[in-house]
């Protein structure tokens, strides 16, 4: 017999998280708890308004499969029952966690993945005045972060990037514009980033309006985030992007994420692993992918005032799984 609990939680951040779409002060997550014969599995998702999701819509979606879930729905059955997105992720993650605990292993163990002792994670520099962003980058570097993800919007791109690069000359920089740029001037902006030795640019153009990426030879790899959800996204990305950012909240869980990573690599894309603002529960479910990706961007829990207990062991820029 399986029992199911579904609930919402709000986790305050210690610092506002500012990106091109706006500012967040808390992480709102939906949690699914499964229990079978005294063994518990837990999964978490972050509903994302950009993808038409709210905590209410995700809770409602989960409710549609609650009875089946109580009757023992499997991960395979779940893929058929719900579309990709946060709701399916919370359930998929809980099913992975439950099975792992039943077999006295971890989700990575169940996925037959050996994790390294330490995973380098990007630490995010959010949008602010150029000198503030440079100061944030310098502080993260001082604390040991070596991979920094810089959020940008459509303004002060040169000023912000030049200031940051001067503050952290040796850091690996990746840039995320979160769909805020347009096709006009895109090639010149990419060249500017390449000249500043930026390692990758994430989602400069709005999803669905990204054909301008096919018009020039990229001087640095361009990564699809909002344009890449599942394996079915890949067909439209060829010739536009060199990399894809896999997130469990987009794929609808680890089950599809593992298949997406495999297909993406087979089709010649490099792979990064990302997350939403979330607790360590959500990162634990994504860890099987973290071992082999080009960039792991898993700093969501480090923005929380307090993480879930027990949390993962994060030290600025590093995750010890
Ligand atoms: Mg992104």
Place of tokens 């018009």: 215
Residue-wise pLDDT tens digits, 109-136: 999 999 999 999 999 999 999 999 999 9
Residue 137, pLDDT score? 98
Q: Which two tokens stand for residue 312?
A: 């993962």
List Cβ neighbours of 190 (8 Å cut-off, separation of 6 or more): 201, 204, 216, 218, 219, 220, 222
Residue 150, pLDDT score? 98
Q: Which two tokens stand for residue 314?
A: 């994060």
Neighbours of 149 (CB within 10 A): 23
CA of 1 to the centre of ligand 1 (A): 40
Residue-wise pLDDT tens digits, 260-270: 999 999 999 99
d(CA 222, CA 199): 9
List Cβ neighbours of 188 (8 Å cut-off, separation of 6 or more): none
The confidence band for 1, taking pLDDT boundaries of 50, 70 and 90, is confident
Report the half-sphere exposure of 262 (CA within 13 A, side-chain side). 7
Residue 134, pLDDT score? 98
CA of 67 to the centre of ligand 1 (A): 35
CA of 225 to the centre of ligand 1 (A): 5
| Helix locations, the chain, DSSP H | 55-63, 66-70, 75-81, 86-102, 107-110, 130-142, 157-167, 186-195, 248-251, 254-266, 280-290
Report the half-sphere exposure of 32 (CA within 13 A, side-chain side). 34
CA of 37 to the centre of ligand 1 (A): 40
- Sign of the torsion formed by the C-alpha atoms of 204, 208, 213 and 215: negative
Q: Residues 121, 106: contact at Cβ < 8 Å?
A: no
Region at 187 (left for phi over 0; alpha for psi -120 to 50; beta for the rest): alpha
Residue 151, pLDDT score? 98
Residue-wise pLDDT tens digits, 9-26: 999 999 999 999 999 999
d(CA 231, CA 233): 5
d(CA 294, CA 200): 10
Catalytic residues: 151, 247
List the one residue out of 2, 87, 98 whose CA is nearest residue 41: 98
d(CA 81, CA 133): 44
For 277, counting Cβ atoms within 10 Å of its Cβ (0-12 exposed, 13-18 middle, 19+ buried), the class is: buried
Residue-wise pLDDT tens digits, 309-319: 999 999 999 99
- Sign of the torsion formed by the C-alpha atoms of 47, 67, 229 and 284: positive
DSSP 238: T
Summarize the confidence of residues 45-72 as an average pLDDT: 97
CA of 202 to the centre of ligand 1 (A): 6
Summarize the confidence of residues 230-237 as an average pLDDT: 98
Q: Give the three-class secondary structure for 124.
A: strand
Residue 252, pLDDT score? 98
Provide the pairing of β-strand 270-273 with 243-246: parallel
């Amino acid at each position: 017999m399986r029992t199911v609990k579904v609930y919402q939680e709000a986790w305050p951040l210690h610092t506002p998280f500012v990106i091109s779409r706006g500012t967040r002060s808390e992480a709102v997550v939906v949690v699914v708890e499964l229990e079978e014969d005294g063994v518990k599995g837990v999964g978490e998702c972050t509903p994302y308004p950009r993808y038409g999701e709210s905590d209410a819509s995700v809770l409602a979606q989960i409710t549609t499969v609650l009875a089946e879930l109580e009757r023992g729905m499997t991960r395979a059955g779940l893929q058929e029952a719900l579309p990709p997105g946060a709701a399916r992720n919370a359930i998929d993650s809980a099913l992975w966690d439950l099975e792992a605990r039943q077999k006295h292993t971890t989700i990575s163990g169940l996925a037959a993945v050996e994790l390294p002792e330490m995973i380098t994670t990007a630490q995010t520099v959010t949008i602010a005045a150029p000198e503030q962003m440079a100061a944030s980058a310098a502080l993260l570097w001082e604390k040991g972060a070596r991979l920094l993800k810089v959020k940008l919007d459509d303004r002060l791109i040169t000023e912000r990037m030049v200031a940051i690069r001067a503050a952290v000359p040796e850091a690996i920089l990746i840039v995320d514009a979160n769909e805020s740029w347009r096709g006009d001037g895109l090639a010149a902006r990419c060249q500017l980033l390449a000249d500043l030795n930026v390692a990758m640019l994430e989602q400069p153009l709005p999803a669905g309006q990204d054909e301008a990426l096919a018009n020039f030879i990229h001087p640095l790899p361009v990564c699809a985030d909002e344009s890449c959800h599942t394996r079915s996204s890949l067909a439209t990305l060829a010739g536009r992007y060199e990399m894809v950012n896999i997130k469990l909240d987009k794929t609808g869980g680890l089950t599809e994420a593992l298949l997406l990573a495999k297909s993406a690599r087979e089709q010649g894309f490099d792979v990064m692993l990302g997350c939403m603002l979330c607790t360590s529960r959500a990162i634990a479910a994504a860890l099987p992918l973290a071992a082999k990706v080009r960039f792991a961007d898993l700093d969501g829990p480090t923005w929380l005032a307090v993480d879930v207990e027990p949390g993962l062991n994060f030290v600025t820029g590093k995750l010890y799984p």
